[in-house]
């Protein structure tokens, strides 16, 4: 009886910590995700919630919600409207990824596969986090359009690279995993079609529960394929968005807000769990020094490439271009996932090389809050009706700068 009461009090204390403390610290421009991660790190050092199956389940729902939300925001029309600029952006990102991976492999002597994953952790924007925080970044409608479109396109590229790297141990494994993933991709719309025909007409307002459960099942399926939970959840979101003609409720504002609330509620558990599972060998002075090197090298490079590209392609003022580039800087979720994968899958990788990803991700996630004048946090839900996003601005002259946007 005492143990049950103690357990209940522990969970109540956890809920209080995850939903109150991050809010209190937002006044200091500390993103709630970072606060949750640090709370998890502190709890693990105190021996609390170690190996807790309930927390593991809540964390899985958190990562699933994050990438379901990101997938639902993939709009093929947006990608087509900005196709030329997005294609150029992806070429630049691919070259950046290849260059960083080569530099890591050449400097440390590690195999190309973990080197590529570390490079992915350094250059891939955390799309779910960015999309949820977009309204708080202080960007105008056109800048939000480009931030959303570029973040989604870059994540699609990163997921493809992640799959290829993890399954490239042999041709047979790659072929088998590709066939299994293709089966998942084909099966998801079939399940949605069956739901639309056999269940939805007699079960109104059941779309949200169905979508979340389908995302969880797909996430576990892709986890078994060795490409982590995020791929399956992301695929369900993309498929739901494309299925909107058959079942418009799958892409309605009501459903999008419901998924956002779901992700916002469970995401703190994911970050708490990620902090609790950080390997001690990653938390050293060498890792901190490596993180500082990553920051000094990667942030100017990433911001500079995006800003210069926008200046040349759209003739934007560098000050405006820098705002979009800065909004794309946070890598928190992708960095945490990839650091965990490298530690679990690859032996002989120097701990400081992977450990440097952690301070790098924590600090770059704070950059928009510090420089764009807003506090980015995934536990901050935006339920207001947003203004329609315009198409890409391809005019020769840059639009007038709004207040505080002049570079």
Q: Residue 380: pLDDT above 70?
A: no
Query: Mean pLDDT, to the nearest integer, of 347-353?
Result: 90
Dihedrals phi, psi of 77, to nearest 5 degrees: -65, -40
CA–centroid distance for 327 within its chain = 13
pLDDT tens-place string over residues 198-229: 888 888 778 888 889 999 999 888 887 766 77
Task: Report helix angle 285-314 to 318-327, nearest 10.
Answer: 140
* % the chain with pLDDT above 90: 28
pLDDT band at 54 (very low <50, low <70, confident <90, very high): confident
pLDDT at 9: 84
pLDDT at 383: 39
- Three-class SS of 80-145: HHCHHHHHHHHHHHHHHHHHHHHHHHHHHCCCHHHHHHHHHHHHCCCHHHHHHHHHHHCCCHHHHH
pLDDT band at 66 (very low <50, low <70, confident <90, very high): confident
- In the block, which residue shows the tokens 């992640």? 162
pLDDT tens-place string over residues 231-272: 888 888 888 877 765 666 666 677 778 888 888 889 899 899
Cβ distance 55 to 274 under 8 Å? Answer: no
- In the block, which residue shows the tokens 């078994």? 224
pLDDT at 406: 35
Cβ distance 146 to 324 under 8 Å? Answer: yes
Q: Residue 334: pLDDT above 70?
A: yes
pLDDT at 393: 45
Residues 6+ apart with CB under 8 A from 110: 104, 346, 348, 349, 350, 353
User: Which span out of 37-51, 240-254, 368-382 was modeled with the highest average pLDDT?
Assistant: 37-51
User: What's this model's pTM, rounded to 2 decimal places?
Assistant: 0.79
pLDDT tens-place string over residues 69-90: 878 877 777 777 778 898 999 9
Query: Mean pLDDT, to the nearest integer, of 314-319?
Result: 87
pLDDT at 290: 95
Closest CA to 222 of 60, 33, 362: 60
Q: Residue 396: pLDDT above 80?
A: no
- How many Å apart are CA 341 and CA 48, to the nearest integer? 24
Cβ distance 130 to 328 under 8 Å? Answer: yes
pLDDT at 65: 87
Determine the straight-line distance between the first and last CA of the chain, rounded to whole angstroms.
Answer: 63
Q: Is 109 left (phi over 0), alpha (psi -120 to 50) or beta?
A: left
- How many Å apart are CA 364 and CA 383, to the nearest integer? 26
pLDDT at 109: 92
Q: 16-39: b or e for each residue (b if 16 or more CB lie within 10 Å)?
A: ebbeeebeebbeeebbbbbbbbbb
Q: Residue 5: pLDDT above 90?
A: no
What is the DSSP-derived secondary structure letter of residue 374? S
pLDDT at 387: 42
pLDDT at 220: 86
pLDDT tens-place string over residues 140-196: 888 888 888 898 889 889 988 988 898 887 788 888 888 888 888 899 888 988 888
Element (H, E) at 180: helix 171-198
Q: What are the structural domains of the chain?
A: 56-371 (1.20.1530.20)
pLDDT band at 123 (very low <50, low <70, confident <90, very high): very high
CA dist list (Å): 253 to 78, 241, 248, 261, 270: 17, 12, 10, 12, 25
Instruction: Compute the mean pLDDT over every residue in the chain, rounded to the nearest whole number.
Output: 82
Query: Mean pLDDT, to the nearest integer, of 296-323?
Result: 92
pLDDT band at 283 (very low <50, low <70, confident <90, very high): confident
Query: Mean pLDDT, to the nearest integer, of 105-117?
Result: 94
* % the chain with pLDDT above 70: 87
Cβ distance 86 to 153 under 8 Å? Answer: yes
Structure tokens, 91: 């070429």
pLDDT at 284: 87
Cβ distance 152 to 134 under 8 Å? Answer: no
Query: Mean pLDDT, to the nearest integer, of 292-306?
Result: 95
Query: Mean pLDDT, to the nearest integer, of 304-330?
Result: 91
- How many Å apart are CA 47 and CA 124, to the nearest integer? 32
pLDDT at 373: 57
pLDDT at 357: 94
Q: Residue 287: pLDDT above 80?
A: yes
pLDDT at 405: 41
């Amino acid at each position: 009886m005492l143990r049950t009461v103690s357990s209940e009090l522990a969970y109540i204390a956890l809920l209080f910590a995850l939903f109150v403390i991050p809010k209190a610290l937002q006044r200091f421009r500390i993103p709630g995700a970072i606060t949750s991660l640090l709370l998890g790190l502190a709890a693990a050092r105190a021996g609390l919630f170690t190996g807790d199956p309930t927390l593991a389940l809540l964390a899985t729902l958190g990562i699933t919600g994050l990438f379901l939300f990101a997938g639902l925001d993939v709009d093929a029309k947006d990608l087509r409207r900005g196709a030329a600029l997005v294609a150029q952006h992806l070429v630049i990102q691919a070259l950046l990824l290849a260059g960083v991976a080569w530099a890591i492999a050449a400097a440390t002597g590690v195999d190309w596969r973990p080197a590529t994953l570390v490079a992915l952790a350094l250059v891939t924007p955390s799309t779910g986090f960015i999309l949820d925080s977009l309204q708080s970044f202080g960007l105008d409608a056109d800048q939000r359009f480009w931030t959303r479109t570029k973040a989604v396109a870059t994540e699609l590229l990163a997921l493809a690279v992640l799959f290829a790297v993890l399954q490239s141990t042999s041709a047979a494994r790659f072929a088998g995993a590709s066939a299994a993933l293709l089966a998942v991709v084909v099966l998801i719309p079939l399940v949605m079609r069956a739901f639309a025909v056999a269940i939805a007409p007699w079960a109104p307002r059941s779309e949200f529960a169905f979508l979340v459960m389908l995302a969880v099942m797909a996430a576990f399926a892709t986890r078994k394929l060795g490409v982590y939970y995020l791929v399956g959840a992301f695929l369900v979101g993309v498929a739901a968005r494309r299925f909107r003609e058959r079942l418009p409720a799958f892409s309605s504002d009501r459903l999008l807000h419901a998924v956002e609330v779901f992700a916002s509620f469970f995401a703190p558990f994911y970050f708490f769990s990620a902090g609790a599972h950080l390997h001690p060998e990653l938390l050293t002075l060498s890792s901190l020094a490596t993180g500082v090197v990553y920051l000094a090298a990667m942030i100017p490079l990433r911001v500079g490439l995006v800003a210069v590209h926008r200046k040349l392609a759209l003739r934007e003022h560098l000050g405006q271009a820098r705002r979009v580039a800065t909004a794309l800087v946070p890598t928190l979720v992708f960095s945490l996932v990839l650091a965990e994968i490298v530690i679990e899958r690859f032996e002989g990788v120097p701990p400081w090389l992977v450990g440097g990803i952690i301070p790098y991700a924590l600090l770059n996630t704070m950059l928009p809050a510090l420089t764009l004048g807003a506090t980015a946090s995934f536990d901050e839900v935006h339920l207001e009706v947003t203004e329609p996003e315009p198409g890409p601005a391809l005019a020769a002259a840059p639009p007038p700068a709004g207040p505080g946007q002049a570079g």
